[in-house]
Amino acid sequence: MKDRFLRALKRQPVDKTPIWLMRQAGRYLPEYRATREKAGNFLALCKTPELACEVTLQPLTRYALDAAIIFSDILTIPDAMGLELSLIENVGPVFNKSIKNIDQIKQLDVPDPYDKLNYVAKAITLVKKELNDTPLIGFAGSPWTLAAYMVEGRSSRDFAKVKKLSYSEPDSMHLLLQKLSVAVTSYLKMQIEAGADAIMLFDTWGGLLSESNYENLSLNYMGKILRSLEPTGIPTIVFTKGGGMWLDKISRIGSTCVGLDWMTDIKVAKQIIGHKVALQGNLDPAIMLTTKTIIEKETKNILDSYGIGNGHIFNLGHGITPDVPPENVKYLVDFVHSYSQKFHD
């Protein structure tokens, strides 16, 4: 069943619960590390369509995954805006230029994706040719998450700079978020045009905000993007890490599916919003570091918690980590498919 993932997104009946994994094309795979070596570095890998295509397909060669996700990074947009991204191992993303004031925000150009980010469209086109009907997910970071990195210049423990800017100069912050929303929208439209079958918005740092700021600075902008994508008819997934308190609000902004982090109880989430949207998640990524027995027990637990009913896409509650043994992933994927049959008919 090639359309298992897309059917589950629409809460239609499927034969087995579909599964894919955030960061499934990643460092835990030796063949990924080899290709990245060939590219030189992470960003070169993102920007070389042939190699990005290669690593996108790698996990699908190994595992019976129900979807591919285009290999890229959420920070390609700020990079295209001229902030000069590098991704440093064990440090994470670092921008050579960060955003400090309103003048810099005013000067930021919304990039034309067909010019500055065309390498992503090319990679999508290449992947689609190889995929043989397996659906391909396109993605972007949420405006708030992009803004957080752009103002801090890198990842941060408390994101004090971007929060200070948000509280002190709300107009500057909204101008930045507005520009990013336009950029994300046209970037995602390009991905859809190139062949993406579904779209995911990663709101990695929305969970660091107070509830009212989350609505004001993150959720509203994601809603705006989703409304702009609506005419395409392409299904969408919204994922705010740490957003478990706000599931009801998240489910009302127009996405097809809500991604759950591992802290959220999927049974509770299903009760709150399962009648409105599909749910994706939510195994603790740390479980992938253990044994097959434990993976089986915890996976059962999640599938049982969701129980009978359409609209569940199995995933981790966050990206897979570099130290996961690849054979554990095979075990997980096959187990989800075999065990979940009893919840479908």
Min. distance of Cβ 298 from its own copies in angstroms? Answer: 7
Min. distance of Cβ 246 from its own copies in angstroms? Answer: 9
**Cβ neighbours of 248 (radius 10 Å):** 11
How far apart CA 316 and CA 167 sit, in angstroms, is 33
Catalytic residue among 36, 197, 214, 221: 36
Q: Fill in the amino acid letter for 6.
A: L
Where in 84-143 is the site for its own copies (CB under 8 A)? none
Q: Is-contact 109 65, C-beta < 8 A?
A: no
32 in catalytic set: no
157 in catalytic set: no
73 in catalytic set: yes
How many Cα atoms are found within 13 Å in the side-chain-facing hemisphere of 46? Answer: 17
The per-type count for the chain, helices as H runs and strands as E runs, is 17, 9
User: Using the rule CB under 8 A, is 42 a contact of its own copies?
Assistant: no
Q: Which residue has the tokens 């290669």?
A: 54
Min. distance of Cβ 93 from its own copies in angstroms? Answer: 14
CB contact set of 327 (below 8 Å; sequence gap of 6+): none
How far apart CA 94 and CA 84 sit, in angstroms, is 8
Min. distance of Cβ 27 from its own copies in angstroms? Answer: 14
Q: Identify which range of 15-23, 35-43, 239-247, 333-341 contacts its own copies by CB under 8 A.
A: 239-247
**Residue number with CB closer to its own copies (49 or 274):** 274
**Residue number with CB closer to its own copies (3 or 215):** 215
339 in catalytic set: no
Query: What is the contact mask toward its own copies in residues 274 to 313, using x (rule: CB under 8 A)?
Result: ----------xxxx-xxx--x---x--x------------
62: left (phi over 0), alpha (psi -120 to 50) or beta: alpha
Query: What is the contact mask toward its own copies in residues 254 to 273, using x (rule: CB under 8 A)?
Result: --------xxxx--x-----
